[in-house]
Each structure stands twice: as structure tokens, then as C-alpha cells.
Amino acid sequence: MVKSFYFSRLPLIYFGTGKRGLLPGLIKKYGDSVLIISGKSSFLKSERAERLFDELKKSGIRFQITTVEGEPSPDVVDSVVRRYSSGRTDAVISIGGGSAIDAGKAVSAMMYKKESVQDYLEGVGTKDHSGSKIPFIAVPTTSGTGSEATKNAVISRVGPDGFKRSLRHDNLVPDIAIVDPEMTLSCPSDITAASGMDCFTQLTEAFVSDKSCEYTDAFALEGLKAISGYLLKAVHDGQDIEARSGMSFAALTSGICLANAGLGVVHGFAASIGGLYNIPHGVVCGTLMSATNRITVQRLRTAQQSDISLKKYAQMGRIFLGKENKNDGYLIDGFLDFLDQLTDELRLPGLRKAGIREEDLARIARLTENKNNPVKLTPEDLLEILMIRYI
Ligand code: NAD
């Protein structure tokens, strides 16, 4: 029997090369005065930006532009809201990586509210967000986070008492996602690798999550096939538009999966490390993915209780090894070895190299949540994972 499930809303999705050209017409659905939020440089300095702004002007759309640097903090979101909430804004448009999209998602949700976004963050604030917001359109320029299809915005404050937490509500799923793979062509290989590993982690964690269902599995498997075909190609040849398209598809799909099946321990680490250190999210996920999955599989094997999860690891082995007629044990071990090789091939820095102090490892393990992992890992397991990657 098909398991019962709950599936939250999706944005209107426009996927394909050149689809960014639809933006002016789509904005018109909401009005003629918009706020554009982008990263500090990549998009705004490109010819694509000039062409888009010309089109917006020709369409009679008034726009203001603001930029965000790095992963968004409450102060960044609050200051954008303060700056623009006295005027009329018919919609917020984010054009950028996950950071710009999350900043825009949070701004659209906070635009006419008096409080700080921090008051509404899970595990940090005390207030529940009502879900009211102004229209929000997401145009991703990295292939990784899938934030163009999720209902949360990740906001962090980095420091000794830092946090990396979400503003979340079903209504915060962007109204429209324009996923144009050409927007990612300018991503350098290290950002392609890190954001690609975020996406791979999201698909894997959602697939084996204890909240997964047949519906999310169907999405996750298609996303994983795209990762298998295109992650390395996109990293090694950034101009390969077929590979970029495959990765844009994988990222969008990973967002749909995470919004509905949740994430596991690697993202638990990303939250605890992200509150303490300024290390790119995708780097943290990528560097810990292999060791975390290996320990998870070891614990699943000893627990002998979650045959379904091990079968899913074997399914991933089938996709990534391209071998059909092998037994599950072979496929699972092959998948784990593949993850090790990928970590090396993508030159993902270890935790020491990324700047983490050894004395913080125990604290990170203590702070890391185990949500949705197919088997509960102990604090000792978590510390072991961190030690394996402390290179
Ligand atoms: P990012 O948005 O921080 O961008 C990384 C760097 O890449 C920046 O310097 C940016 O300017 C640059 N960049 C972006 N697009 C580019 C392009 N086309 N060409 C050249 N440079 C480009 O990185 P990200 O990995 O996309 O996003 C990470 C953030 O997303 C983190 O804050 C993470 O927590 C969050 N996240 C959110 C969700 C969600 O569901 N809301 C899911 C996963 C991750």
C-alpha cells in the first residue's frame, strides 16, 4: 500500500535555457514596482543583467536593486526591510545563489512586519510566522540549494553564540521559480563543486529520510540520475550547457525533495558549523557527505532493522555504478567508495583546512541534530565523522 503523505505547494516553475526572458512578463502579474536582490557581483556585472534591466524598463517596470554579501544574517534582512518598506513594492525578485534567494524569501516574508526576522527563526525566536508575504520570484544562478522550490530561508549569525536556522512556512515557497541553466554558466568550478555537493547531499538525505514517501522518492531518484550524469561534467567544463541543465534540474528537484522529506545529519552538521564558522554551506556538506553516509550504513547494518534504507542505498549504488546484476552489499559498498573518490576528485577541503579549530569538534558534535536520518547516530558517531574529515 502507498504510504500516507503530505506534500506542500510548488512554485510555478519555468525551466529551460533562455527562460529568464519571461521575467518582465511574469513580474507584470504582480505590478510594476519591484525590488531585485542579488549577490555582490556575479550577476550584476554581467551583460545578462544589462539586457534584463533594459527589458524591465521597456516593459514599464520600476525596479530598485540591493545586494547581499555572503550567507544572509538577520541584520541584513532587517536592514533591507527597513530600507524598502516605506515605499511600494509589488514583488521581490531574487537573482543569485541560495544566499540571495534566501535573503529575498525572508525579505518578502518580513516586508511589512515590525519585528526582526530573528524573532521568527526556528529554535531562536519565539514567534510563529503567519505565512503572509508579498509575491516572490526566485531565479537561481547556482545549481545547489534548490531554495527556488523550498519553504524556508536559512539565516545565520556567525560567532561563539551563533546560529544557522530557518524561517519556515508552507506559504514561503516562491510564487515563481525561473530556472535557466544559462544563469549558472559563469559559476567557477569550486562553486559548482560545492553547490553541486549540497544538492547531491539533499537528494541523498531526502531519499533515505524517515519522512520520505513514494512521491518524494520518485523526485529524488530523477535528481540522483542527473547528479550521476552531470555533476563531474559541470565541474570540469563549466560551459557544457547540457551538464549545467542537468545540474539545474537536480538542484530544483533537491529543493522539492527537502521541502517534503526533510534532511539528515550532514545538514545537521551544516547548521551547527554554519553558526560558528564562515565556511561555504556546500563545502561543509560536500566534505562530510562521504564519512556520514559510511557511518550511517554501518549503523544500519548493525541495527538490522531498516532494510528499506539499505535497499535505497543499493538503489543509489545501481545509479552511480551503472551496474544492474550485483547484490545489494556490493552496490552499497560501491556507492560509499564512489563518495570517497568524489570527495577527492572535487578537492573538497577537510575541516582543518577549512579553518575549524580542533577544540570545537566536540561542541559541534553536541550541537548537531539527527533529524530524519534513517538511523540515529550517537554523539560519539558524530564526533567520529568529524575526526575522519579533520584533515
Ligand atoms: P551562495 O549563494 O552563497 O553563492 C556562493 C558564491 O557564488 C557567492 O560569492 C556568489 O556571488 C557566487 N555566485 C553565485 N552565482 C554565481 C554565478 N552564476 N557565477 C559566478 N559566481 C556566482 O551559494 P549557494 O551554495 O548557492 O547558497 C548557499 C546558501 O543557501 C547558504 O546560506 C545555505 O544555508 C542556503 N541554503 C538554503 C536552502 C533552502 O532551502 N532555503 C537549501 C540549501 C542551502
Reduce the DSSP state of residue 183 to 3 states and report it: helix
At residue 261, the pLDDT reads 97
CATH for the 12-184 domain, from 1.10.3210.10, 3.30.360.10, 3.40.50.1970, 3.40.50.300: 3.40.50.1970
* Domains 12-184 and 189-388 alike in fold: no
What does R_g of the chain's alpha carbons equal in angstroms?
20
Q: pTM of the prediction? A: 0.98
Q: Which three cell numbers stand for residue 32?
A: 510594476
Q: 3-class SS at 61?
A: coil
Q: pLDDT (tens digit, 9 = 90+) per residue, 282-312?
A: 999 999 999 999 999 999 999 877 689 999 9
In the sheet that holds 136-140, the strands lie side by side as 12-15, 176-179, 136-140, 91-96, 33-39, 62-68
Which residue minimizes the CA distance to atom 4 of ligand 1? 97
Domain ranges across the chain: 12-184, 189-388
Q: Is the CB of 268 under 6 A from ligand 1?
A: no
Asked whether 96 lines ligand 1 (CB < 6 A), one says: yes
CA of 281 to the centre of ligand 1 (A): 8
| Ligand 1 pocket: which of 76, 99, 235 to mutate (most atoms within 8 A of CB) | 99
Instruction: Encode pLDDT of 189-205 as tens digits.
Output: 999 999 999 999 999 99
| Mean pLDDT over the full length of the chain | 96
Q: Residue 40 CA: which ligand 1 atom is closest?
A: 11
Q: Is the CB of 35 under 6 A from ligand 1?
A: no
Q: In this structure, are residues 94 and 103 in contact, taking their beta carbons and an 8 Å threshold?
A: yes
Mutation test residue for ligand 1: of 141, 169, 179, the one with most atoms within 8 Å of CB? 141
Which pLDDT value is given to residue 379? 94
Q: Identify the segments of the chain with pLDDT beneath 50.
A: none
**189-388 fold:** Dehydroquinate synthase-like, alpha domain (1.20.1090)
Name residue 93's beta-bridge partners: 36, 137
Q: Whose CA is nearest to atom 20 of ligand 1?
A: 187
Q: Is the CB of 143 under 6 A from ligand 1?
A: no
* Beta strands 163-168; 152-157: pairing state: antiparallel
Task: Check if 98 has its Cβ closer than 6 Å to any atom of ligand 1.
Answer: yes
- Run of H or E residues at 291: helix 281-303
CA atoms within 13 A on the CB side of 101: 29
CA angle (333 as vertex; 332, 337 as ends), nearest 5: 120
